[in-house]
Amino acid sequence: MIAQGHPRSIGKHVPRREDPYLLRGEGRFLDDIAEPKDTLFLSFAMSPHAHARILAIRTDAASALPGVVAVYTAEDMARFVKPIRTVIEIQGYRASSRMVLAQDEVRFVGEHVAVVVAEDPYIAQDAAELIEVDYEPLPAAVRLEEADSESAPLVHEDIPRNVMFEAAFASPDFQAAFESAEMIVSETFRTGRVAGVPLEPRGCLALLDHVADSLLFYTSTQIPHLARTALSEILDFPEPRIRVVTPEVGGGFGTKAQFYTEEVVTAALALNLRRPIKWVQDRREELLTSIHARDHIYRLEAAIDGEGRIKALRTDLTTNAGAYSSYPFGCTLEATGGARMIVGPYDIRNYAFHTRAIATHTCPSGAYRGVAQPSCFMAIEGLMDRIGRKLGIDPATVRQRNLIRSEQLPYTNVLGVRYDTGSYEECLRRALERVDYWNFRKRQAEARDDDEVLRGIGICCFTEVAGAGSGGWRVRGLTKVPGFDSASIKVEPTGKVTLLVSQAAAGQGHLTTFAQVLADYLGVKVEDVFVSEGDTATAPYGTNTFASRGAVAAGGAVIKAAQSLRQKIARIAAFLLDVDVERVELTESKAIDKENPEKSVDFRQVAQIAYSMTSVALPQGESFGLEVVEMYDPPLATWPNAVHAVVVAVDRRTAKVSIEKYVVVHDSGRLINPMIVDGQIHGGIVQGIGEALMEQIVYDEDGQMLNANLLDYLMPMALDVPQIDISHIETPSIDALGGFKGVGEGGVIGAVPAVTNAVADALARTGANINRLPLRPSYLLREMRRRQLAVDGDRK
Amino acid sequence: MNFAGEHLIRSPKHAVWDAINDPDVLRDAIPGCQELHKKSDTEFDAVVQVKVGPLKAKFKGSVRLEDIQQPHRCAIVGEGQGGVAGFAKGNAQVELIESQGATLIRYNVHAAIGGKLAQIGSRVVQGVATRLTLQFFENLVARIEPGDAGEPGPV
Amino acid sequence: MSQATSLRKTDVTLTINGKSYTRQVEPRRLLVDFIRHDVGLKATHIGCEHGVCGACTVRIDGRTARSCLHFAVAVQGAEIETLEGLSADGRLAGLQKAFHDAHGLQCGYCTPGVLLTAEEFLSENPEPSEQEIRAALSNNLCRCTGYVNIVKAIANAARDRDKTTADPAGESRK
Amino acid sequence: MKPAPFEFRAPVSLDGVLEEMREHGEAARILAGGQSLVPLMNLRMLQPSVLVSINHCKELSYIRAEEDGLVCGALARQWDVEHDQVAIQRCPLLVQALHHVGARSNRNRGTVCGSLAHADPLAELPAVALALDADMIAASSTGRRVVPAREFFVGALENSLRPDEILEAVRFPYAPTGSRSCFIELGNRNHGFAIAGVALEVTFGEDGRCRRARLAVMGGENIAKRASDTEVALAGSIIDEAAAREAGRLTASLVDVAGDFHADAAYRRELVAVLVERALIQVASGAAGRARSI
């Protein structure tokens, strides 16, 4: 319950307090931290083969290079490091463990085979190139389409047909409903493998405190607490003597929400050599070894009625897990996510899925922004358009007929998941209006067949899983992911407020948004609140930052802590104001007597009493200090929803796509800072535009990556981005404290399907069937020509 | 990377076949070949220095003749470790067809590169692989045809 | 530093933000590493080391340049400027305020390079169109903002800058 | 990635540079702007043992309007040439192409000669040099020689300079008065490496017919190529839509293209045809850069 009468901070465009030092270039990112003089630097030798047996490793030339201190292989590391094992308690999952350096066998190009420790990063790389490795190349399972066949080479001996995870589901009367429907519409969708590519590659710095024999570990991460626990288990080193500190992070997007082998090696070697160790990744390594995502095949079948309503939907999903199950989310997150989230905002009562994560000799996959949702919504929203084309009903109308209606909310979907509130119909209605949908359709119908430019419009209606609590992670088998987050509030003796949260931002503006929440729920001026996070020595334990959970989980924890601390402050203030506690109201860092507001005491005066620093003693029974820590476990998940509508123009001769109009109507429940929410949506949309039009990690049939550089892994630049028109609907969550729903991933989830559908719509006239990403001009022209050849063939 | 082509050699089929199996001929034909030692009738150890403008990579590996159907058809398979740059392998299916006393040599090449060369230079290296293949067969032709064929024309 | 590498080291003196620094480094020492690690000015960031992302943008003799594509030894005698220098003497105040007000940054890793690129662009194009701003930014990679608010911030800075620097004779406008 | 070690030389005179190249030749590389060279060194694809910087050779830093063409010295920065009044007036194709060369900060430091000597298959300046029959002035300690563009570019990243030679300067012939030119390229992204590109200059006669067309095309794994047959076909004709389309088709059949994951061969060939057609239409419609006599 918000402090009444308090000038609200939540909902305001509060400029970010992070900006001033970042704009002066004073933000300290990982490699900016001044490392001690005796710091040693790491460089890894990487496998050039996708699959090979390691016959011999000769490190003498490398070790002999002046400036090199040591060279380690897997055997050396095994003495003091255990393999990383991703535990996922879900039926159908086969765990695989991974040594921090490849042992006996390399399983993807770029896998680390040895590590050099040297006095200078340049020398470390010189030495890494002197390491000679004799490989016996072995056949590699690379193409997802073939990796689970009988004859496919095995990535792990103990995982038959490379099926690392498999699960199926069918709602009670699915089969009957599927067979009774009038018509089946089916399609296969193939999404391209992409990577998060944060502008700051990964890196870490391990420092030893000899006296306390403890480890101070800086790492560019989104999961400081989870990383600390993992380090302790893998190094067998007491968790209380590990302190993980998150520096400024130059973008994460999920890429840094994994725990990587290099972090283990850096910490282990610091402990072993008793010297500070620093490792900074370069871009080539980052593209080769940071997690990839979205390498998926969807086969959808929808049983529909004459009106275009989906009576029953069947999803067959295959995801590429890569060589190992990444830590902590593993290879099941995309496979379960894609299969479970695809029903989205649609009232689909009969649903069945069969989903699998297949191991291949490629870089491990992991949780990149949106986690499977951009792909699964590309599939379902592509199917909605095809239903429309088959029945001659406009795709917007098909969606209107399938959407869950507001009067059905709260709604429990076919997988038993509860959508508490939402604005599915209203978002679609407003998006169609703002994109001037029906006039566009009119103009499109009048367009001539020989126009040089083909225009199309694409829609994506979606829900986004966000703010998942412990229930949400357990249901996915991810028992190592706690689900709760926490906040510690201290009103200091001087009356200022210290807020510590279990998060680790990478540009989301946490220091500003959590101060806004605390200001409203504690009745303190926002400028009196000082937020800090990311340091496990100060911030309380929590699940940290990924999957659009910050606002919901940590926001909720701040509210819970504020509500409990308010009582104590009000009691002490009532004592000072000599009034009944019900008459006390906290506002603007003051406690006022509601009945005569000019009578008040400020937080400083209350704090002085609480810290026993005045002549007046604390009232009987009151404890000292003004400090509280609260853990908050959000509901199973919150469900922001949105509609993206996009108009594209495709040059018929060059098949180059340009985005002419981009409209978003978004509902993230109650918005804390709309300016920051819009920034998250902009960034997500542009990553989605990249994923749809140009981004792809390319492996050849031998498992060689062909674009581990930014000239060949194309991402959108300023000239590729349209004007983006965002409008908000605020339907607060009734399950999550504060009514927040989260927004981190909505942008990318909506953009991939909407842009793909727009291009497919533009080319539908040419008969091209656009169902795979990315939509490079070469692919689009080939599809246009394929049908034209067929047409020419018929005409001859 | 796959590419194909053919060349007419003004000498009889058996002479072309012998040449393809002769290490001295292969050493002259393979562009940048510095060493070629016979390990067996069908396998040779090789050191090849590939130079593309500023890029230089030395490949140590082997050249093997496989699926030999004398004197009609065989596969010339080359594999080399380029140390840090990565590795390269090529498989040239070669077919000899008699035509009026001369021989048409038809080839279908599949080449693949691995390691850093593939990750960074794939765009440039592809053109290089095509050109080196053409050069190989042109050198082969020049080496086999009797002297009166004169200087090989400007490339 | 170990004895071996010192054989190949030479004394390199660079003028950075008006101050002269002499360090003993190898000829291969990249300018960005000299600035960041040998001198300790950490505002200039590394994003790719192959000249694509723009995070390492500095100014050499008054013009923007990618400091990952230069060797320190080869730019001796030149005037190097980094965000720290331009920010200290207030030249970027207008841009910095515009970026703050328009939420033109999120993680801040690309921001130094973007600010230097924008400053050079605005000093030569006082009244740019949005498309011209996008073209000027078309080689500074940002993965967080989707460029929307960066373009808005630069447009706002141009508008405000126009008011302050426009003199009646209009020389300032090209 | 950090570059491999090398010895560094920074002679202050051209003779000093030529002396270094004579001594080290094969093992040495010239460092001018470094915008093409240093990325390859940082990625350790290229590990010269000696790097000869010409940045301290003031005598090589010039843009001279000479009798028969604009001469850019080895240190002429791309940005300076792009804003040189004579270049703008009399070599419009060169200036149009320079707009596409990398980012502003690349062009501030990158040199025209450096880009030409590097000879990347998808670089714009080699296509312009070929189209305009530019002359490359190669210098070595034993003397100078003029290498016409068509003999200078051998292949991807390969020019015909001897190991002890440097590209001292390049001469771009002036565009004939009344000629019009344009440079078009297209990539998978709106700025960055192209998939195909066209450098075109057309001189029109009084009757509006094409008196001479100079056309070079880049598009595949090999260096840019002059489309001489198309030039012959265009000579004397009115450049209308049909002629432009036919010229595009003819040029596409001349160019050897190869596919890769960015674009398959068929697409590259079709793109060359479309870009040539659109360049011709743009030049014919007068929308192109017009060469003015001073």
SS (H, E, C) A729-746: CCCCCCCCHHHECCCCCH
In a domain, C151, yes or no: yes
Superfamily, domain D180-290: CO dehydrogenase flavoprotein, C-terminal domain (3.30.390.50)
The Cβ of residue A236 has, within 10 Å, a number of other Cβ atoms equal to: 9
> What are the structure tokens assigned to A604, written together?
């400083």
Q: Where does residue A61 rank: exposed (0-12), middle (13-18), buried (19+ CB within 10 A)?
A: middle
Contact D93, D131 (CB under 8 A): yes
Same-domain status, C62 and C106: no
- Residue D193: list chain A partners with CB under 8 A: 711
Interface A-C, measured as beta-carbon pairs within 8 A, has a size of 179
Same-domain pairing of C142 and C80: no
A483 dihedral zone (left: phi>0; alpha: psi -120 to 50; beta): left
Question: Which of D5, D39, D103 is opposite residue C28, by nearest beta carbon?
Answer: D5
pLDDT per position in chain B (155 positions), as tens?
Answer: 778 888 888 888 888 888 888 888 888 888 889 999 989 888 999 999 887 777 778 899 999 999 998 889 999 898 888 877 888 888 999 999 998 888 898 999 888 889 988 998 877 777 778 778 888 888 888 888 765 444 443 33
CB within 8 Å: A119 and C2: yes
Residue A8 pLDDT grade (very low, low, confident, very high; cuts 50, 70, 90)? confident
A653 → closest Cβ in D1, D43, D274: D274
Residues of chain D contacting A776 with CB distance shorter than 8 Å: 188, 262-263
Q: How far is CA A239 from CA A214, A426, A481, in A?
A: 9, 50, 17
Last residue of a domain, one of C86, C120, C143: C86
Distance from CA of B126 to the nearest CA of D (A): 7
Q: Which residue, among A557, A538, A469, A551, has the nearest Cα to A505 in the 3D structure?
A: A551
Select from C157, C29, C56, C59 the least CA-distant residue to C104: C157
| Residue A57, CB-side half-sphere exposure with 13 Å CA sphere | 28
pLDDT at A584 > cutoff 70 = yes
Provide the percentage of residues in chain A whose pLDDT is more than 90: 95
Q: Is C145 on the interface with A (CB under 8 A)?
A: yes
Q: What is the rounded average pLDDT for all residues in chain D? A: 93
- Encode pLDDT of A178-189 as tens digits: 999 889 999 999
How high is the pLDDT of residue B125?
78
Write down the architecture of domain B2-145 according to CATH.
2-Layer Sandwich (3.30)
Query: Which chain D residues contact residue C138 at CB under 8 A?
Result: 103, 190-191
Give the span between the Cα atoms of B116 and A110, in whole angstroms. Answer: 9
Number of H helices and number of E strands within chain C? Answer: 7, 5
Reported confidence tier of residue C171, pLDDT bands at 50, 70, 90: very low
Distance, in Å, from the CA atom of B127 to the CA atom of D154, rounded to the nearest integer, reads 12
Check C111 against A678: CB less than 8 A apart: no
Rounded CA gap, D32 and D17, in Å? 12
Q: Which of A22, A284, A709 should we substitute to test contact with C (largest number of C Cβ atoms within 10 Å)?
A: A22
Q: Is C135 found in the same domain as C121?
A: yes
Mapped onto helix, strand or coil, the DSSP state of residue D168 is strand
| pLDDT at residue number D291 | 60
The percent of residues in chain D predicted with pLDDT above 90, rounded, is: 83
Report the residue of chain C nearest D79, measured CA to CA. C63
Surface of B (112-131) touching D: CB under 8 A = 116-117, 120-124, 126-128, 130-131
E strand or H helix that includes residue A106: strand A105-106
Cβ within 8 Å of C, A 699-728: 709-711, 715-719, 721, 724
* CA distances from residue A737 to A387, A563, A567, A634 in whole angstroms, order as listed: 39, 11, 18, 8
Residues D106 and D123: beta-carbon distance below 8 Å:
no
Token code pair at residue C66: 């990618």
Q: Does the pLDDT of residue A596 top 50, yes or no? A: yes
Are both C14 and C78 inside the same structural domain?
yes
Cα–Cα dist D119/D170, whole Å: 14
Residues of A whose CB is below 8 A from D105: none
Q: What is the pLDDT of residue A362?
A: 98
Q: How far is residue D206's CA from residue D211's CA, in Å, rounded to a whole number?
A: 9
Q: Given this model, what pLDDT does residue C163 score?
A: 67
Q: What are phi and psi of D246, to 5 degrees?
A: -65, -40
pLDDT at residue C5 greater than cutoff 70: no
In a domain, C170, yes or no: no
- Does C43 share its domain with C66? yes
Which of C32, C61, C86 finishes a domain? C86
Q: Average pLDDT of A164-183? A: 95
Q: How far is CA B145 from CA A772, B151, D72, in A?
A: 51, 11, 46
How confident is the model at residue A793, as a pLDDT?
Answer: 53
User: Which residues in chain B are contacts of A49 at CB distance < 8 A?
Assistant: 114-115
Among A382, A202, A384, A393, residue whose Cα is nearest residue A289: A202
C153 has pLDDT over 90: yes
Q: How many CA atoms lie within 13 A of A448 on its CB side?
A: 3
Least confident of A98-102, A234-238, D287-291: D287-291
One-letter amino acid identity for D30?
I
Interface subset of D 163-202, CB within 8 angstroms of A: 186, 188-193, 195
CA A102 to chain centre: 28
Q: Report the C-alpha dihedral over residues C119, C125, C126, C131, rounded to 10 degrees.
A: -100
Those residues with Cβ within 8 angstroms of residue A578's Cβ, 6 or more apart along the chain or in another chain: none
Q: How many domains does chain C have?
A: 2
Per-residue pLDDT averaged across A732-754, rounded? Answer: 96
Looking at the fold, whether C17 and C74 belong to one and the same domain comes out as: yes
Q: How many Å apart are CA C49 and CA A727, to the nearest integer?
A: 39
Chain C environment of A682 (Cβ under 8 Å): 145-149
Provide the residue range defining the domain that includes C7.
Answer: 3-86
Partner A contacted by C100 (CB < 8 A): yes
C26 and C10 share one domain: yes
Q: Does A136 touch chain B (CB under 8 A)?
A: no
* Mean pLDDT over the full length of chain A: 95
CB-based contact (8 Å) between A109 and chain B? yes
Chain D residues whose C-beta is within 8 A of a chain B C-beta are: 29, 37, 40, 43-48, 118-122, 155-159, 193, 220-222, 258, 260-262
Among candidates D40, D155, D262 on the partner chain, residue whose Cβ is nearest the Cβ of B127: D155
Cβ neighbours, 10 Å, residue A52: 23
Residue A796: predicted pLDDT: 38
- Specify the pLDDT at position B121: 81
Count of B-D CB contacts under 8 Å:
64
Which residues lie across from C71 on neighbouring strands?
C30
User: pLDDT higher for D257 or D176?
Assistant: D176
Q: What percentage of chain A has pLDDT greater than the value 70? A: 98
Give residue D220's pLDDT band: very low, low, confident or very high (50, 70, 90): low
What's the CA gap between D56 and D11, in Å, rounded? 7
Identify which of B112, D67, D85, D171 has the alpha carbon closest to the alpha carbon of residue A705: B112
For chain D, count helices (H), then strands (E).
12, 15
Q: Give the residue on C whose Cα is nearest the Cα of A24.
A: C87
pLDDT number for residue D221: 67
Cα–Cα distance list, A673 to A420, A508, A737 (Å): 22, 11, 16
User: Taking 70 as the threshold, does the pLDDT of residue A606 lie above it?
Assistant: yes
Residue of A246, A281, A249 whose CA lies nearest to A121: A281
CATH number for the segment(s) D61-172: 3.30.465.10
- Would you call A66 an interface residue with chain D, using a CB distance cutoff of 8 Å? no
C20-to-C12, C23, C71, C77, D55 alpha-carbon distances in Å = 10, 10, 17, 10, 20
Please state which CATH number belongs to domain D7-53. Answer: 3.30.43.10
A733 close to A638: Cβ distance less than 8 angstroms: yes
Helices and strands in chain A: count of H runs, count of E runs: 20, 32
Residues of D in contact with A125 (CB under 8 A): 1-2, 44
pLDDT at A263 over 80: yes
Look at residue A660 and give its three-state secondary structure.
strand
Note whether C15 and C38 are same-domain residues: yes
Separation CA A186–CA A202 (nearest Å):
41
Neighbouring chains to C with at least 3 Cβ pairs closer than 8 Å: A, D
Instruction: Specify the higher pLDDT residue, B21 or A143.
Output: A143
Question: Which of C13, C61, C64, C131 to mutate to test binding with chain D, by most D CBs within 10 Å of its CB?
Answer: C64
Whether A722 has its CB under 8 Å from any CB of chain B: the answer is: no
Q: How far apart are CA D45 and CA D49, in angstroms?
A: 13
Let me know whether C97 and C158 are in one domain: yes
Tokens, residue A202: 């990964």
DSSP string for B49-91:
EEEETTEEEEEEEEEEEEEEETTTEEEEEEEEE-GGG-EEEEE
Task: Name every residue whose Cβ is closer than 8 Å to that of residue D118 and which is 6 or more positions away in sequence.
Answer: B53, B54, D36, D37, D157
Nearest C-alpha neighbor of C12 from the set C20, C2, C24? C24
Quick check: is C99 in a domain? Answer: yes
Closest CA relative to residue D122, chosen from A708, A707, B123: B123
> Which residue ranges make up each domain of chain B?
2-145
Can you give the pLDDT at residue D292? 56
Interface A:D, Cβ pairs < 8 A: 68
3-state secondary structure (DSSP) of residue D191:
coil
In a domain, C173, yes or no: no
- Which residue of A lies nearest to D185 if distances are taken between CA atoms? A654
The CATH number of whichever domain residue C117 belongs to comes to 1.10.150.120
Whether A778 sits inside 8 A of D190 (CB atoms) is: no
* Chain B residues with CB-CB distance to D47 below 8 A: 56
- The interface pTM score, or ipTM, of the predicted complex is 0.95
Q: Is A283 on the interface with B (CB under 8 A)?
A: no
Chain C: give the shortest CA distance to residue D17, in Å.
Answer: 14
- Judging contacts by C-beta atoms under 8 Å, the chain D residues touching residue C136 are 104
pLDDT, tens digit, 9 for 90 and up, residues D75-94: 999 999 999 999 999 999 99
Domain ranges across chain D = 7-53, 61-172, 180-290
Question: Which phi and psi angles does A76 have, rounded to 5°?
Answer: -60, -45
Q: Domains of chain A, with CATH numbers?
A: 19-27+484-632 (3.30.365.10), 33-138+199-251+255-289 (3.90.1170.50), 292-469+636-795 (3.30.365.10)
Q: What is the pLDDT of residue D290?
A: 62
Tens of pLDDT, residues A749-787? 999 999 999 999 999 999 999 999 999 999 999 999 887
Burial class, A33, CB count within 10 angstroms (exposed 0-12 / middle 13-18 / buried 19+)? middle
Q: Quick one: pLDDT band at residue A795, thresholds 50, 70, 90?
A: very low
Question: For residue C125, is pLDDT > 80?
Answer: yes
In the prediction, which pLDDT does A35 show? 95
Query: Residue-wise over A113-131: b if at least 16 C-beta within 10 A, else e?
Result: bbbbbbbbbbbbbbbbbbb
Q: Which of A7-11, B4-8, D123-127, D253-257 has the highest mean pLDDT?
A: D123-127
Q: Do B120 and D120 touch (CB under 8 A)?
A: no
Q: In this structure, is residue C124 part of a structural domain? A: yes
Say if the Cβ atoms of A712 and D262 lie within 8 Å. yes
Comparing CA positions, the residue from A131, A142, A146 lying closest to residue A73 is A131
